[in-house]
Structure 1
Amino acid sequence: MNDSITSATQPATRPCQPWCVNHDAAGDVCHAEEISGTGLTHHASEGARIHLDDECLSLEEAAERARAIFAQVEKTREKTRLTFEDLYPEWTEAAENKGRLAAIAAKCEYLSEMEANAREQISDEPALWLASDPCPGWCTNARLHKTSDHPDDRAHDGATVAVPLLSMPVVPMTFADGPRWTAPELHLQLVKEYREVEPRVFINDGGDQVRLYATLDELERIGNAMLDLVRQGRGQGWPSVPLVPLQHGAAECDDVTCKCHEHPSFAADSER
Structure 2
Amino acid sequence: MSGLLVLAATPIGRPEDASARLRDELAGADVVAAEDTRRLRRLAGELGVEVAGRVVSYFEGNEAGRTAGLVEDLVAGRRVLLVTDAGMPSVSDPGYRLVAAAVEAGVRVTSVPGPSAVLTALAVSGLPVDRFCFEGFLPRKAGERARRLRELAQEPRTLVLFESPHRTEASLLALAEAFGADRPAAVCRELTKTHEEVVRGPLGELATWAAAGVRGEVTLVVSGRTGPAVGHVDPGDHDTLRARVASEEETGLTRKEAVRAVAESTGVPRREVYDAAHRVAHGPSRPDLDRPDPTQE
Tell whether the structures are fold-level matches, with TM greater than 0.5: no
Q: Higher relative CO (CA 8 A, sep ≥ 6), structure 1 or 2?
A: 2
Of the two, which has the highest radius of gyration?
1
Between structures 1 and 2, the one with greater helix share: 2
TM-score (norm. length: structure 2): 0.21
